[in-house]
Structure 1
């Protein structure tokens, strides 16, 4: 297997971020949602304009996971006012970690998460948090294995469907 590299994305990576974002979101959620809701979400949330704006936010960072010449996953991190909720200066949000289905179980998600932890520590944040769909059992287990605990819930509107996300956090300790 080729060497995995994790690279911080820039505005020059717009098309790559768009492509991996659409592909992994579709793979993860298409079976649970209507075609119309999926099409609408992908069109609105992974448009060139929206993705360019997201890549330009100073308090957000995107990272691409490359296996040789193939992008196989990505991550989006937020601090400060870029966070989708809490906006706590002491925290970092993992807004997205997605890996192509064919690469699940190959530690790519784990390595992306470890990169997020490294950044959280380097920016001297005291905790890291995220929201994960309550039906995404594999993701919940992944985060629990990595020390996350549920602390709240919120509604994620997907088309006409209201879905519940479990909000989880990991308090950093000196380890």
Structure 2
């Protein structure tokens, strides 16, 4: 059985494992390997994740299957939008509907908070994610540079009107 569950500081170890594993699996073949390693060790350190979890602006949701988290979504409620800041799914569960479940959940959460737009950023090299977001109705509205490790990459900013 699948269900969503809020994530808090007590879930730090599981959140860190999913973050490091999912990011490394998604980007080790797309980006410079040392950039990925530096990013993962810094961004997903216990200290950094704990700060994110303790910041009331951030909301984390695990998607669990048979009691184990298969991925998570970090979202932020902006003035007019719900920003999907992170959507990570473990490789073994990709292609099995988890991403669609997260998208539906994001739309439900946005509606319950009176938000009319979903926004997100995706690295331009992450073609599978871009294709998925386009299939779900997202369009690119801007882009910005982002540093991953020691290198600069392009982050595509996408939105979906609800």
Say yes or no: TM over 0.5: yes
Consecutive unaligned residues in structure 2, runs of 5 or more: none
Partner of 1:128: 118
| Aligned pairs (5 A) from 1:1-175 | 3-80=1-78, 89-172=79-162
Secondary structure of the residue aligned to 1:53 is helix
Work out the CA distance in 1 between the residues paired with 2:24 and 2:103: 21
Deviation at 1:32, TM superposition (A): 2.2
Work out the CA distance in 2 between the residues paired with 1:165 and 1:145: 18
Q: How many residues align?
A: 162
Deviation at 1:35, TM superposition (A): 3.3
Deviation at 1:39, TM superposition (A): 2.1
Q: TM-score, normalised by structure 1?
A: 0.88
Deviation at 1:78, TM superposition (A): 0.9
Question: Structure 1 residue runs of 4+, over 4 Å off?
Answer: none
* Aligned-CA RMSD value: 1.2
Consecutive unaligned residues in structure 1, runs of 5 or more: 81-88
Deviation at 1:108, TM superposition (A): 0.5
